[in-house]
Amino acid sequence: MHGISREELFQDGLPANEVVKQFNAFLTESDVVLYSDAHRWDGDWVDTLYYAVKVDKPFYVDSIYDLIGNDKADQFDKYFARLAESGKYRHHRAADDVEMIYEAYCYVMG
């Protein structure tokens, strides 16, 4: 799905405890919500990460659709799909996915 080989992961990836440390340094406020277009998938991944390093997660992952509302979901999906097909982004890469979600969010929220 992400196009990352096991070799690339071991060569360029970070240890789980370092990823959690960076997450926690970035998320310094309590009751932080991270929004995702695939919140169940991303929430499971994040839960597994924090469980592996035995650290309590200081945030939760929720659906971007809860933030934008059902009335704008179709508009969000269509704009997001256009961004994904534009060639500007590499879909299923965290930084690019976040940029697409943000751009689509800004588009639909005006």
Q: Which DSSP state fits 101?
A: H
CB 92 within 8 A of CB 2: yes
Q: Kindly list the domain boundaries of the chain, sorted by start residue.
A: 6-109
Residue pLDDT, tens place only, 55-75: 998 888 999 999 999 999 999
- This model's pTM is above 0.75: yes
Residue pLDDT, tens place only, 47-58: 999 999 999 988
Quick check: helix, strand or coil at residue 60? strand
Residue pLDDT, tens place only, 77-86: 999 999 999 9
CB 108 within 8 A of CB 79: yes
